[in-house]
Amino acid sequence: MSAPSGVSGSAPRAVLGRLADGRGRTAGELAAETGLARSTVVHALNRLVAAGTVEPGAAGLRGRGRPARTWALTARPGPLAVVVAAAHGSLAAVVTSEGDVLALRDAGPMVVEVDGLRPEPVLAALDEVLAQAGVAPADLSMAVVGVPGQSAFGATSAAAAPSPSGHLRRFGTWAGRPPAQVLGERLGCAVHTENDANLAALGEAVFGAARGMPTVLHVSLAFGTGSGLVLDGRLHRGRSGLAGEIGHLHADDDGRLCHCGAHGCFWQTQSVPALLEALAEAHGRPFTQPDVARGVDDDDPDVVRALLGFGHALGRRLADAIVFLDPHAVVVDGSLGPASRVVADGVREAIRRYAPPTMARGATVLVGAFGEQAYALGAVALARSEHLFARR
Ligand SMILES: [Zn+2]
């Protein structure tokens, strides 16, 4: 679609990052939003106009009659392909650079083998969403892939990527190859990798339930127990790319070996997949996420109690996180529908009980607004906050 800007430097990238939502802005607005000096913004705009990336819009009258020209991208960035592939679930989506989800398809649990996940089902889902959205690979501005484990964002080569333990590596590998490489060959565009829970966190913190809140801790439930920490609209990944991952808090000295390499991690016994297993065992039949949603709608006491108990266990851990982070909001993944609300009730109760009252009162517990669409919106938020549109 649109040509790369060909303009290097952090100021042009920052300006392009702001204009990526398609809305025109004045130089003054761009200076305020980027924190750059107005003269730096004007210089960057001049270079971008010369490169054909940015064009002046209509000059309107403002304030005391001084004309204020707006600036906008000459062509909006193309849509993004988004693939999320965790062991317990996967999806593919197409989303515009403005944040409209054009198509999304659930591709079910992934098959995990010795050399990694088998990508065929999620790649088939990707073909389907592209067809449904009427988007050809050549029209994409980029692809974003969400995988479990340490964030590999910014790693441009296998050598630069974090080297997780053998167990975790399987989840970030598709039939022996890095997912970004597989997708890059298939789509012919740049592919950026991020932790799946981080994408959902960004989606809800930037576009969704916690929009505009400076410190947001998001807990993902659908594909395990993951979490992401968003500070002022940007991910906090930490040194090893696992910051905020409450699923790997230590819970049981005698617990099983986790794929992170530690023993007895919280998510192994406290997660939606673990809860489904426990319900299936108790009821002697398989239990799916839709079964749980139905159980909540029917006020099934077994299901409601199990969800409240899970929410309470989660809230007990989150109460500690609240002391460390003092967040404005804790967002509980909304992809479980009515079940998410029951989990959030348990979380709220535990936070009230275990966190210091002043902090507990300040941290609002919200339910995610977008469900699985949060991953797709998170990819757009990632592209904006990391200035990826300008790097195409
Ligand atoms: Zn672990």
DSSP for 145-211 reads: EEESSS--TT--STTTS----HHHHHHT-BTTB-HHHHHHHHH-S-EEEEEHHHHHHHHHHHTSTTT
Q: Which residues contact 363 (CB under 8 A, 6 or more apart)?
A: 322, 326, 327, 328, 329, 330, 351, 355
219 CA from centroid of ligand 1 (Å): 15
Q: For residue 157, what pLDDT band results from cuts at 50, 70 and 90?
A: very low
Closest CA to 33 of 14, 46, 52: 14
Q: For residue 66, what pLDDT band results from cuts at 50, 70 and 90?
A: low
277 CA from centroid of ligand 1 (Å): 19
Q: What's at 47, amino acid-wise?
A: R
What's the predicted TM-score (pTM) here? 0.82
173 CA from centroid of ligand 1 (Å): 18
270 CA from centroid of ligand 1 (Å): 12
3 within a domain of the structure (yes/no): no
Report the pLDDT averaged over residues 368-385: 94
Do 319 and 229 share a domain, yes or no? yes
168 CA from centroid of ligand 1 (Å): 9
Report the pLDDT averaged over residues 205-211: 95
Q: For residue 170, what pLDDT band results from cuts at 50, 70 and 90?
A: confident
Do 239 and 384 share a domain, yes or no? no
Do 226 and 172 share a domain, yes or no? no
Number of domains observed in the structure of the chain: 3
Q: In which element (H, E) is residue 143 found?
A: strand 142-147
Do 222 and 358 share a domain, yes or no? yes
Report the pLDDT averaged over residues 116-124: 92
Mean pLDDT of the chain: 88
Do 115 and 248 share a domain, yes or no? no
Do 67 and 163 share a domain, yes or no? no
Neighbour count for residue 177 (Cβ, 10 Å): 14
274 CA from centroid of ligand 1 (Å): 14
Its domain, for residue 31, covers 10-73
Do 238 and 355 share a domain, yes or no? yes
Q: The domain spanning residue 233 has which CATH number?
A: 3.30.420.40
315 CA from centroid of ligand 1 (Å): 18
The more confident residue out of 41 and 260 is: 41
Tens-digit pLDDT profile for residues 306-347: 999 999 999 999 999 999 999 999 999 998 999 999 999 999
165 CA from centroid of ligand 1 (Å): 11
The more confident residue out of 371 and 67 is: 371
205 within a domain of the structure (yes/no): no
Which residue shows structure tokens 């139905």?
294
Q: For residue 73, what pLDDT band results from cuts at 50, 70 and 90?
A: confident
Q: Tell whether the model's pLDDT for residue 192 goes beyond 60.
A: yes
Neighbour count for residue 8 (Cβ, 10 Å): 10
Do 105 and 229 share a domain, yes or no? no
35 CA from centroid of ligand 1 (Å): 39
Do 19 and 92 share a domain, yes or no? no
Q: Which of 45, 73, 101 is the last residue of a domain?
A: 73
245 CA from centroid of ligand 1 (Å): 9
Q: Tell whether the model's pLDDT for residue 275 goes beyond 60.
A: yes
Report the pLDDT averaged over residues 149-163: 65
Quick one: tokens of 295? 């159980």
Q: What's at 177, amino acid-wise?
A: R
Q: Which of 73, 92, 121 is the last residue of a domain?
A: 73
Do 35 and 176 share a domain, yes or no? no
How do beta strands 54-62 and 66-73 pair?
A: antiparallel
Do 273 and 360 share a domain, yes or no? yes
Do 353 and 233 share a domain, yes or no? yes
267 CA from centroid of ligand 1 (Å): 7
Tens-digit pLDDT profile for residues 337-349: 999 999 999 999 9
227 CA from centroid of ligand 1 (Å): 13
